[in-house]
Amino acid sequence: MKINVVIAGFFVAGMAMTSAVKAQRTPVINQREHHQVGRINQGVSSGALTHSEAAHLRAREQNIRADKRMAKATGTMTPARRANLNARENRLSRSIYRKKHN
């Protein structure tokens, strides 16, 4: 009887760890960050963005990245936090477009 309780306890603990690890993954956010930095660099290369505009956009990207790292480090990457990061990435994407086309 005791062995069944121990095995069940390990199973529950294993499932909890698996779901906690999955909650910390952010591949979509990582891919967007990489793509947006590339768009900023391309804008500077083509002359569509000034160096000061690019610096401002990179700083905003860094703030998003820092918030994401903090959420992952503290284990608070909740669906609401993920949605907030996604909304901030959307706003940054629009800003990149606007600054490149002004």
Query: What average pLDDT values come out for the chain (102 residues) when binned by 10 residues?
Result: 64 59 63 92 96 97 95 92 95 97 91
CB 67 within 8 A of CB 87: no
CA distance 29 to 25: 9
Q: Which two tokens stand for residue 4?
A: 């069944």
Q: What pLDDT shows up at residue 3?
A: 72
Task: Kindly tell me the burial class for residue 74, based on how many C-beta atoms sit within 10 Å of its own C-beta (0-12, 13-18, 19 or more).
Answer: exposed
Q: What pLDDT shows up at residue 25?
A: 62
Q: What pLDDT shows up at residue 35?
A: 93
Q: Which two tokens stand for residue 20?
A: 């906690």
CA distance 102 to 97: 9
